[in-house]
Amino acid sequence: MKNKKIIYSILYLLLLITSFSCEKIVKKKKEFTQKREVGTKPFEDFFSIRDYPNMKPDIAAYKQVVNSEMQKMTNERSSSSVSWQMEGPLNIGGRINSIAIHPSSLNTIIIGTPNGGIFKSINDGATWQAVFDNEITSAIGDIAYAPSNSQIVFAGTGDPALGGYSFIGNGIYKSIDGGDTWSNSGLTNTGVISKIQVHPTNPNIIYVAAMGIKMIRSNDRGIYKSIDGGATWNLIKFINNETGFNNILINPVNPSILYATSWSRVRNNEVSIISGYTSRLHKSIDA
C-alpha cells in the first residue's frame, strides 16, 4: 500500500510538471504569435520558429517581414543627408555572393550581396552605386551577363549559403539596360537561386540552378530553363522535394553540354539536412 502511494505521488508530480510545461509552451507560442503580428525582423522570425517544436514556417509571414525590413532600410537610406567617407578598418572583409564583369568593358562590374542588394561600378571599382533598392528583397545569389548582349543581365535572389541567417529571395530579375534597373522575371517560389547561365550566343536561353526554400520540402527545386528570355520557365531537372541545385555551367565550346551539382539541404526547427545520396554531379549532352 505504501509503495502504491509513492508511485501515485510520483505520477501526480510528473503530471503537474507536464501540465506546467505545456502551459508555458502555449503561453510562449501565444506571445510569439502576437509579436509576429506586430512584425519581427527576418532573422528573429527564423530563430523564434526554431525555438518551438511542431511549429511550421509561415513563408508568407517570413516574406512580409523581409519586405518590411527592406522598405525600412530604403526609407532610412533615402532620407539621410549625411555624407560618408571610408575610415576603416580595411582588413575585415565582407561577403559578396557574386561578381559579374561586363563582357567587353572590363571597367564595368556588378556585385551581389547576401543582404545588401546589387551594386554597380563603371570605373573599375573606384565608386559604386546601389541599383536594387527599389525591389522587395536584398539577398542576391548570382548575377550573369548575357555574353552576346551586354545590356541583358540576370540576377537570382536568395542567399545560397543556406545557413541560419541566410534569407530567401523572390525569384529571378532581369535588366535590359546593363544592370541599372530591374524587373522580376518569375520563379518567385524557388526561394534561393544559386547560379545562372546564359547561352553564349542566344540571350533568350537561360538556365537556373535553384535550391528552393530552405525551411520546407517543396517541388520548387531543380534546374529551370527559359527559351524566351525569361518570360516563361520549364523545370527540366528535378530530384526530390529536399534536393535542389546549387551550381550549373555551360560548356563554352559546345553549349549543348552542361554540368550541374545537386545538394540535399533542408533547415528548419525540426531537421537540418546538410548532405545525402542525392548530392551529386550531373551532365547533359542535349542542352
Say what the pTM is: 0.76
- Comparison of pLDDT for 70 and 21, the residue scoring more: 70
Per DSSP bridges, beta strands 183-184 and 98-101 are: unpaired
3-state secondary structure 112-153: ECCCCCEEEECCCCCCCEECCCCCCCCCEEEEEEECCEEEEE
Return contacts of 35-39, CB within 8 angstroms, 24+ apart. 36/61, 39/64, 39/65, 39/68
As a whole number of angstroms, the distance between CA 224 and CA 163 comes to 23
As a whole number of angstroms, the distance between CA 193 and CA 77 comes to 27
Query: What digits encode the pLDDT tens for the residues 240-286?
Result: 999 999 999 999 999 999 999 999 999 888 888 898 999 999 999 99
Question: If you average pLDDT over every residue of the chain, what do you get?
Answer: 85
Q: How confident is the model at residue 165 (pLDDT cuts 50, 70, 90)?
A: confident
Query: What digits encode the pLDDT tens for the residues 184-207?
Result: 999 999 999 999 999 999 999 999
Query: What digits encode the pLDDT tens for the residues 89-119?
Result: 555 556 899 999 999 999 999 999 988 899 9
